Structure 1
Amino acid sequence: MRTNIVRSESLMVSYDVVNGWTVVEIDGEVDAHTAPAIREAVINLLAEGHHHFVLDMTFVAFMDSMGLGVIVAITKRIREHEGSLRIAAASGRILRIFNLSGMQESYEIYPSAAEATQSDPSPGSLAHWPRPSPG
């Protein structure tokens, strides 16, 4: 059951648990105005005991450098909890931002949340972040 955790004029963040993953769906723009709310939402979920995340960015219309910064901040927090993180990004625009920033090598990026949640989470999969996992 999808639960809304952030709702504003320009952003909606909700989550659901699928196959051991907490799928955080972001709908709207990820920028200097919305990034703090997204970060806080994920930190609250970590505090509630969620450790394995898929950031579903399928409905993100725009993302700037603050958006990339919040993903890095979230990743650090998840890593501290020996969790894991995957990105679901169907939009070519979002994928291009990851490619241009060089961050595509640091994350497991899937075309959809459904594909990202097909396999079970592996605790500590961010141990080598920001470098790709060996193997």
Structure 2
Amino acid sequence: MRHLSTVDLKVEQVSGVTIVHFPQEVDAVNAAAIRERVLRLLNNGVTEMLLDLTGTRFLDSAGVHIIVRAHGRSTALRVPLSAAIPEEGTVRRVFELTGLSRLVPTTIGLPRSAGPAASRSCSTARARGRGRKPRR
């Protein structure tokens, strides 16, 4: 089991936004350390936060809990919070199934102002699974 201090979270400031880059896997092993770091950043006066999950390939219920707690804290502190998720894969599906994309403003990929990756807004209809092309 990992010790809390061994989780490497890249945190950077871009145009006044604190970007927290989540690791490839977020689960019960590292969730406490990630949650602690995210909440500490919010409590220390960031003006806006983006949770970058574009490089995350696995997110379990402990990871969902981190995002819900961050949303609650950011709402209480009146700090804008958003999330960037991959276009496809498990993390995107978790956001759709749990309703996280309706709770937290979500983009597909990093916003242009936050990094080199192109992004699209994740509309509510698309996040709920509507608006997709039918499978053949």
Greater strand proportion: 1
Measure how far apart 1:46 and its partner are.
Answer: 2.1
Of 47, 50, 63, 1:51 maps to 47
Correspondence for 2:91: 94
Point out where structure 2 has 5 or more consecutive residues left out of the alignment: 116-136
Rg: which structure is higher? Answer: 2
Query: What residue in structure 1 maps to residue 8 of structure 2?
Result: 12
- Contact 1:54–1:116 under 8 Å retained in 2: no
Q: Specify the alignment match of 1:73 in structure 2.
A: 69
TM-score by length of 1: 0.72
* Structure 1: distance between partners of 2:21 and 2:52: 5
Root mean square deviation of aligned Cα: 2.1
Deviations 1:28-57 (A, max 9, x none): 211112111111111221233213110000
- Matched residue of 1:105: which SS? helix
Q: Counterparts of 1:116 and 1:68 in 2: how far apart (Å)?
A: 25
Please list the CA deviations of residues 3-52 of structure 1 after superposition, one character each: whole Å capped at 9, or x if unmatched: xxx863xx431111112210001122111121111111112212332131
Using the size of structure 2 for normalisation, the TM-score is 0.72
**Greater helix proportion:** 2
**Closer, same or farther: CA 84–116 of 1 in aligned 2, 3 Å:** farther
SS at match of 1:51: coil
CA distance in 2, matches of 1:26, 1:83: 19
> Higher relative contact order at CA 8 Å, sep ≥6: structure 1 or structure 2?
1
Partner SS for 1:58 = coil
Structure 1 residue runs without a partner (length 5+): 1-5, 119-135
In the comparison of the two structures, how many residue pairs are matched? 111
Aligned pair partner of 1:107 in 104, 109, 114: 104
Query: For residues 112 and 5 of structure 2, what CA distance do their matches in structure 1 show?
Result: 26
